[in-house]
């Protein structure tokens, strides 16, 4: 086989074609500013089926809830009896991807109250922590009827409650006993609390509910009185009791019962932890990035137990609670890294308050602008998006109608949020929405033209306007031209540049640039 030599001219043309091809397959990039989500989820509808049941049977609650950007995180309704005495909280609804609804089956306990029950309110929250409570008769109507032959309308009765021993040292245990009865549905819980002698230290010691002992027929629990606890007479200030149909009652010390004991402590800790300093680093971040909270907190005796800060957005609509800080023995600080949600509100955030507590159950709240000033700023971040403009090579003498542009956004952003009517090319040429002079729609659609699994938005620009702009305004007849596209996505500006190759056959390979 003979191989013919390639002339210098042919080699030049071949290399030019290869370079052009290589240039054309390089991904185009534009910048899209991150979108902040400042709107809570919208409750479109909520209903209950069936609308008539017997006690002991189940209903299913359905809710149609949407969110504009970050997505719905939680939907928490409550059901309430006709008198309002029985209220059932059952956790959030669960999203059903098949129906597109938030749903949950709820059993109405046996012995529940007769009559029309309602969903009194629904709490909705999105992933950017925007929150709204929707209320019955104001935002929606959702009810159902319960038929009960023997409704239980009375809360449990606390017959007696006592503590043994009646004198303990700190870091020793007491045991609480309670005799509690109910007429029909049965006792569900018994929740006492313990209160120290003073109002300022270890105000209440909460330890969960008592547990039923079937052998003794009593509700009981052993409770450890922490080391360094306050000396003196401790009391049970109140007891909350509830039955299985959610009838509840609160019984009070010195009114309904008397239950106390004495604590002897050699080194009582009656002072809450001291917050010496708190700060956030870095002070400026982009949406979706992280900050680290640092706090210098000390305690005089029992030691710091927890440090709980809370973030608040500029509008006050987004509150982020992220669990306690963790003690770092190397820095001797309480610290935690916190990632702000991708659609968080931009602007100046504050550490709204800090709750601290020690191991003797002393607690204190420190507040912004009173005890400290800590702020950090979230800026709109620039997100890179891939675009492709066709044709890759534009003939200025061509008689075609359109220049086509495809825009892809990164994960977490939706091209359907782009306002097509705001898109401009070089701040001069608007996106084509109507053909002129014969009015007819110009296609703008969402698809996946490059089959990469990422949705893209296709828009078109008038070819004649673009070629005139390149030739008459930019003064380019041959070579590469940089084009800038601007617009808005969900009300936030985006901007980016792309390059295409321009030729003008009648002028050969000459170029005239300004």
pLDDT at 200: 57
Position 453 scores a pLDDT of 87
For residue 7, what pLDDT band results from cuts at 50, 70 and 90? very low
Query: pLDDT per residue over 328-337, tens digit each?
Result: 999 999 999 9
Beta-strand pair 42-49/218-224? unpaired
Tell whether domain 157-264 is in CATH 2.60.40.1930: yes
Summarize the confidence of residues 117-141 as an average pLDDT: 97
Residue 27: which pLDDT band, with cuts at 50, 70 and 90? very low
Q: Helix (H) and strand (E) counts for the chain?
A: 2, 42
pLDDT attached to residue 397: 85
CATH topology match: 42-147 vs 274-379: yes
Q: Residue 34's pLDDT is what?
A: 54
Q: List pLDDT tens digits, range 378-395.
A: 987 666 677 788 888 989
Q: How far apart are CA 203 and CA 300, in angstroms?
A: 18
Highest mean pLDDT among 3-7, 30-34, 35-39, 91-95: 91-95
What is the CATH architecture of 274-379?
Answer: Sandwich (2.60)
Please state the rounded mean pLDDT for residues 177-200. 93
Q: What topology does CATH give the domain 8-33+383-507?
A: Immunoglobulin-like (2.60.40)
DSSP 417: G
pLDDT at 295 over 80: yes
Average pLDDT value over all residues in the chain: 87
Confidence of residue 18 (pLDDT cuts 50, 70, 90): very low
Boundaries of every domain in the chain: 8-33+383-507, 42-147, 157-264, 274-379
Residues 236, 196: Cα–Cα separation, whole Å = 9
pLDDT of residue 436: 52
Residue 24 has pLDDT above 50, yes or no: no
For the stretch 426-455, pLDDT in tens is 888 888 876 555 555 667 888 888 888 888
Specify the pTM: 0.69
pLDDT over 80 at 508, yes or no:
no
Please name which of 312, 365, 363 lies closest in space to residue 340, comparing C-alpha atoms. 312
* pLDDT for residue 102: 98
Residues 6+ apart with CB under 8 A from 177: 161, 162, 163, 164, 216, 218, 219, 220
Q: What is the mean pLDDT of residues 348-358?
A: 97
- Label residue 424 by pLDDT band (50, 70, 90): confident
pLDDT for the residue 119: 98
E-state strands within 52-108: 52-54, 58-66, 72-77, 79-80, 87-88, 94-96, 101-107
DSSP structural state of residue 231: P
> Does 184 or 25 have the greater pLDDT score?
184
Distance (Å, whole) CA 210 – CA 190? 6
Question: At 124, is the pLDDT very low, low, confident or very high (cuts 50, 70, 90)?
Answer: very high
Domain 42-147 class, CATH top level: mainly beta
């Amino acid at each position: 086989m003979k191989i013919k030599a390639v002339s210098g001219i042919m080699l030049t043309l071949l290399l030019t074609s290869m370079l052009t091809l290589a240039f054309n397959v390089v991904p185009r990039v534009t910048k899209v500013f991150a979108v902040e989500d400042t709107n809570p989820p919208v409750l479109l509808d909520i209903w209950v089926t069936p609308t008539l049941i017997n006690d002991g049977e189940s209903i299913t609650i359905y809710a149609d809830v949407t969110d504009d950007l970050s997505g719905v995180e939680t939907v928490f309704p409550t059901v309430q009896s006709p008198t309002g005495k029985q209220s059932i909280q059952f956790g959030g609804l669960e999203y059903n991807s098949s129906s597109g609804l938030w749903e949950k089956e709820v059993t109405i306990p046996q012995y529940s109250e007769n009559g029309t029950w309602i969903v009194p309110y629904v709490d909705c929250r999105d992933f950017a922590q925007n929150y709204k409570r929707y209320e019955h008769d104001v935002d929606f109507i959702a009810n159902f009827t319960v038929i009960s032959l023997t409704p239980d309308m009375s809360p449990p009765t606390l017959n007696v409650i006592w503590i043994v021993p009646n004198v303990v040292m700190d870091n020793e245990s007491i045991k609480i006993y309670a005799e509690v009865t109910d007429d029909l549905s049965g006792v569900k819980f018994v929740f006492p609390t313990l209160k120290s002698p003073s109002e300022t230290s270890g105000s209440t010691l909460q330890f969960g509910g008592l547990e039923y002992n079937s052998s003794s027929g009593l509700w009981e629990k052993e409770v450890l009185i922490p080391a360094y606890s306050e000396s003196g007479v401790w009391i049970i200030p109140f007891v909350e009791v509830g039955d299985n149909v959610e009838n509840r009652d609160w019984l009070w010390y010195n009114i309904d019962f008397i239950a106390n004991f004495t604590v002897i402590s050699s080194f009582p800790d009656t002072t809450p932890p001291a917050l010496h300093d708190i700060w956030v680093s870095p002070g400026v971040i982009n949406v979706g990035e992280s900050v680290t909270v640092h706090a210098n907190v000390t305690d005089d005796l029992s030691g710091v137990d927890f440090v709980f800060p809370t973030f608040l957005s500029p509008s006050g609509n987004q509150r982020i609670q992220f669990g306690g800080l963790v003690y770092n023995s190397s820095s001797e600080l309480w610290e935690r890294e916190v990632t702000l949600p991708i659609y968080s509100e931009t602007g100046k955030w504050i550490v709204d308050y800090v709750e601290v507590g020690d191991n003797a159950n002393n607690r204190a709240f420190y507040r912004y602008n009173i005890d400290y000033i800590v702020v950090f700023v979230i800026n709109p971040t620039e997100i890179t998006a891939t675009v492709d403009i066709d044709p890759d090579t534009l003939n200025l003498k061509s008689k075609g109608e359109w220049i086509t542009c495809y825009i892809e956004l990164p994960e977490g952003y939706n091209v359907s949020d782009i306002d097509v009517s705001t898109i401009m090319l070089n701040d001069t040429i608007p996106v084509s929405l109507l053909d002129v002079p014969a009015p007819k729609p110009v296609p703008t659609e969402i698809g996946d033209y490059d089959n990469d699994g990422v949705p893209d938005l296709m828009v078109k620009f008038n070819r004649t306007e673009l070629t005139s702009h390149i030739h008459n305004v930019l003064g380019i007849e041959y070579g590469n031209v940089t084009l800038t596209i601007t617009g808005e996505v969900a009300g936030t500006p985006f901007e980016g540049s792309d390059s295409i190759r321009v030729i003008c056959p009648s002028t050969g390979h000459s170029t005239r640039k300004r």
